[in-house]
Amino acid sequence: MSDPEREKIEEQVALLRLGHYLAEGKRLRPQEPILLLLHAFNRIVEDEPSIGFDEHRAASTLERLGARIDRAAPFECKSKYRVTVPEQLRRRAIEAATIKKSEIGEPQTE
């Protein structure tokens, strides 16, 4: 798999996992330490590729999706990055997760 293909799959998976996280009613503050999101990014949902994210991979993927990523000062917290997810990306993520959930829940017709 080429790098652009891998990045596209990572983006799709990250968007879905962010959407599941937000759809559960979780809130993201501006400048949220990215380590607080890693558990959600590494929770594999049915019918998703088993892609794992470390802090750097999550940060670069979220940035490609349109989030603002800032490096945290080493003395601030354990997290190397802080993320601000704009409202447009939040809506896209929730919509993607909602669509995926309805696709999984519908019975297959042959």
Instruction: Tell me the residue range of the domain where 91 lies.
Output: 3-105
Structural domain includes residue 110: no
Structural domain includes residue 52: yes
DSSP annotation of 47 reads T
pTM of the model: 0.81
Q: What is the pLDDT along the chain (110 residues), one digit of tens a residue?
A: 678 888 999 999 999 999 999 999 998 899 998 988 898 888 876 666 778 899 999 999 999 999 999 998 877 778 899 999 999 999 999 999 888 766 645 444 44
Please state, in angstroms and rounded to a whole number, the distance separating the CA atoms of residues 107 and 98: 16
Check if the beta carbon of residue 83 is closer than 8 Å to that of residue 32.
Answer: yes
Quote the number of domains for the chain: 1
Structural domain includes residue 68: yes
